[in-house]
Amino acid sequence: GAVVSQHPSRVICKSGTSVKIECRSLDFQATTMFWYRQFPKQSLMLMATSNEGSKATYEQGVEKDKFLINHASLTLSTLTVTSAHPEDSSFYICSAKIAGITDTQYFGPGTRLTVL
């Protein structure tokens, strides 16, 4: 089956630093990737939709200058949390859609970000 990986799985950083999270589709091409954020006991909230080769579409209330998304290839999207603060601590999950198949999204295992 289609596999999506995320790296790192867990990161702890100091306030003010930037953190990059990678999302890779390992055995398929993903024209669209989605980035979600999940706070404890909360639902997954879509942050942005990332289409290969174009600018990401951000959800209302998500700062595009703080959460930089790059989708430079059909197998890789990155989310960079710039100048991270403790309130950015969360579980970040990506998903990817197989090119040409509209129904199925495959989710990565998530990245736990803790900002001290």
Question: Which residues contact another protein (rule: CB under 8 A)?
Answer: 4, 6, 32, 34, 36, 41-46, 49, 51, 57, 91, 93, 95, 97, 102-105, 107-110, 112
Tell me the pairing of strands 10-13 and 111-115: parallel
Q: Would you say 32 or 82 has its CB closer to another protein?
A: 32
CA separation, residue 11 to residues 8, 52, 58 (Å) = 7, 26, 23
At 58, phi and psi to the nearest 5? -95, 145
C-beta of 9 vs 83, nearer to another protein: 9
Minimum CB distance to another protein, residue 83 (Å):
26
